[in-house]
Amino acid sequence: MTSPPPDLAAWRAQMTKPAGPLGGLARQAQQRINRIIPEKVHAAVTTAMEGLTRGILTGADFATGSPLHGLTLDERRARAAAAIDGWKKTASVEGGITGAGG
């Protein structure tokens, strides 16, 4: 395996610096909270977040399609309105899942 480029190595070193005193306190508090929350809740939130991430990535594939050539302005507006309607429905479902996990 080859070694990473120098700028990547410097970035990794910077990202792995030990946390300061406030970071350590925050980590201890988070660990305490995690011990209190049941594992089933952790699993449910993890599953919801995985689904949310997959949905976002899939939606990004649809949202970044090629430009529409040869369509009138009204046709483009209709397609945009349909896409926005779909995004609103997806956001509603994602919000419901997030709310159920919280």
Residue 56: inside a domain, yes or no? Answer: yes
Range(s) of the domain holding residue 54: 38-101
Residue 33: inside a domain, yes or no? Answer: no
Residue 70: inside a domain, yes or no? Answer: yes
Distances (CA, A) of 34 to 50, 56, 85: 19, 26, 38
* Model confidence pTM above 0.85: no
pLDDT for the residue numbered 64: 67
Residue 97: inside a domain, yes or no? Answer: yes
* Tally of domains within the chain: 1
- 84-102 pLDDT, tens digit each: 999 898 888 888 888 877 6
Residues of the chain scoring pLDDT < 50: none
Rounded distance between C-alpha atoms, residue 34 and residue 42, angstroms: 8
